Amino acid sequence: MVHPWYILPLVAFGIASNWYWPVAWSLLIMPTYLTYGQVPFAQPYWWIPVEYGLLAAFMAWEWRFAPWRKSRSPEVPDSAIPQR
């Protein structure tokens, strides 16, 4: 089980580096507290593939389509590329 406070350094790094998937992960981790809603404690194992599936989808989206990522990548003009 991963608790939200375990990834706080990753969240800070993600925000500083303009990646937001760590923030999404910190929000997706919150339902792990469902574990403590049952006695004896039992984690709802159905949530694990949902959590990581949503996280992987957000990471793929951010890597490919996120508008804030495009604004950070420098454009290299064609004239800067050596021609053979």
65 DSSP assignment: H
**What pLDDT does residue 32 have?**
79
**What pLDDT does residue 19 have?**
87
Burial (Cβ within 10 Å: 0-12, 13-18, ≥19) of residue 66:
middle
Helix axes 21-29, 47-65, angle to 10 degrees: 160
Q: For 20-69, how does the pLDDT look when each residue is reduced to its tens digit (9 = 90+)?
A: 899 898 888 888 777 887 788 887 788 889 999 999 999 999 988 877 66
- Show the tokens assigned to 36: 């403590």
